[in-house]
Amino acid sequence: MSQPLVEVRGLSKHFVQRGGLLGRRSRVVRALEEVELSVQRGETLGVVGESGCGKTTLGRCILRLIEPTAGQVFFEGVDLMALSREEMRQRRRDMQMVFQNPYSSLDPRFNVLNLVAEPIVTHTDLRGEALTARVEELLARVGMEGDFLYRYPHEFSGGQLQRIAVARALALNPRFLVLDEPTSALDVSVQAQILNLLQQLQRELGLTYLFISHDLSVVQHISDRIAVMYLGRVVEMSTTDAIFYAARHPYTEALLSSTPILDPALRRERIILEGSVPSPANPPPGCRFHPRCPKAMDVCSQVEPKLEDVGGGHLVACHLVMRDP
């Protein structure tokens, strides 16, 4: 297999929360813990899990929008963590992010021309009519042809704003996009339009996606492979078909059982998980899922399982799976 476009090794992010008198008390929130994954050129890797599992933190750490506590991120074989601020600034041409809520990610004081042109002005010398023409080209590519340049965010629908956000992300011809729940704030019919647009852009421009979502049906539609996260760790990762038709981790099975699915072949008995997700500030020992796992064994509360290949590139972190013949 060729070198992946993006490779993550042992990525961790810990946040320190302070409280009490004069902020003397503190606790460490372990948002990410030793995450390992890779994204091949031209593919879409979906990242799924419950709210608070670390999906968004993962995407932002990969782009160094927030600095990881430990680990490495390689882009085309270059360790992004070793780059200086100026070197990283140059790399940002190649990687961009589309955020969940376009109403908050787009500055309401800027018109569309300024919103889309801002990264171009920051990173290139393009100005004047050539800059305006480039913005019009980008808007047309995302299906926003018309007299939109001098209108402001409050004049658009959510779907139109997300198209503008995608145009802005494409302004510097990136090769890698982190899509952080880009359709979750939209109506279902508009979600389908944005997903189709993203797939069309991927085919035309050869883009690579890290697609973050809690919606398994959306991830199934757009992803080539899926990584399932629980409390800051990847617990299972494989092709989309393998995850949906032959999931191995109990948490993945529970997620799939709770998702409405039209395909009768994929329907399964609902698995009700006991309790709630533990706090990342006080994760349980051993496997982080064991307090809620219906199949937990004694070893699960004592030893953290490693993410291992159980065949065909299907990675699972589960003691029960490791014991299967």
Residues 254, 268: Cα–Cα separation, whole Å: 10
Inside any domain, residue 118 = no
pLDDT of residue 225: 98
- Residue 112 resides in a domain: no
- Residue 257 is predicted with a pLDDT of 87
87, part of any domain: yes
Residue 129 lies in a domain: no
Q: From the first residue on, what is the mean pLDDT of each consecutive set of 10 residues in the chain (325 residues)?
A: 91 88 79 96 96 94 96 97 94 95 92 97 95 97 93 95 97 97 89 96 98 93 97 97 94 86 65 82 94 93 94 95 66
- The verdict on residue 259 lying in a domain is yes
Number of domains in the chain: 1
Angle at 115 between CA 109 and CA 118, to 5 degrees: 115
pLDDT score, position 259: 73
Domain span at 235: 6-94+174-323
| Residue 126 is assigned to a structural domain of this protein | no
Structure pTM?
0.93
88 domain residue, yes or no:
yes
pLDDT in the model for residue 75: 97
Domain holding 229: CATH number? 3.40.50.300
**Residue 132, domain member (yes or no):** no
> What is the model's pLDDT at position 149?
96
Read off the amino acid at residue 85.
R
Confidence at residue 35, expressed as pLDDT on a 0 to 100 scale: 97
